[in-house]
């Protein structure tokens, strides 16, 4: 009986503190996001400590597919992303991406539930659906 109580207590604590990422659906483009851009990731700055650590990516924008706020083509923006998988984290390397995301106040954010893909990994037929400016 004592073992059952201990096991139940441990399981309750584990379930109570478990965090996980859940994406409702996988987007086929960034049209449902606040912004969707194509840009080259130039660098990143680490911020925070695990498990809530994030990266601030500096991105040179060469194409704007959607913007709920002004984003200039051929400008630099900063996009934040958590890196832990429990927070739907995403890691970006120094290469060309399509990055979609949302605004948290004035901060641009993305995560693994958004349409953020390396440009070279997007099939040509899918590239035709990226422009969301109607």
Q: Domains for the chain: give ranges and CATH numbers.
A: 21-127 (2.40.50.120)
Q: 120, 18, 23, 27: which is closest to 66 by C-alpha?
A: 27
The answer, yes or no, to whether residue 9 has pLDDT greater than 60, is: no
Q: Rounded to 10 degrees, what is the CA torsion of 64, 69, 72, 78?
A: -90
Please report, in range form, the residues annotated as the binding site: 21
Least confident of 10-19, 60-69, 89-98, 106-115: 10-19
Distance CA 113, CA 131 (A): 19
Please report, in range form, the residues annotated as the binding site for Zn(2+): 21
pTM, two decimal places? 0.82
The token pair that represents 46 in the structure block: 């680490």
State pLDDT tens for residues 46-96.
Answer: 999 887 899 999 999 999 999 999 999 999 999 999 998 889 999 999 999
Query: Mean pLDDT for the chain?
Result: 88
């Amino acid at each position: 009986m004592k073992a059952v109580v201990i096991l139940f207590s441990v399981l309750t604590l584990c379930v109570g503190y478990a965090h996980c990422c859940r994406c409702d659906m996988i987007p086929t483009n960034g049209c449902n996001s606040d912004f969707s851009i194509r840009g080259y990731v130039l660098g990143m700055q680490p911020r925070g400590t695990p498990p809530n650590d994030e990266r601030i990516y500096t991105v040179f924008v060469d194409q704007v597919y959607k913007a709920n706020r002004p984003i200039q083509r051929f400008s630099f923006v900063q996009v934040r992303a958590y890196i832990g998988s429990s927070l739907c984290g995403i890691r970006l390397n120094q290469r060309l991406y399509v990055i979609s995301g949302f605004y948290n106040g004035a901060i641009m954010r993305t995560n693994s539930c958004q349409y953020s893909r390396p440009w070279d990994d997007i099939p040509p037929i899918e590239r035709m659906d990226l422009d969301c400016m109607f």
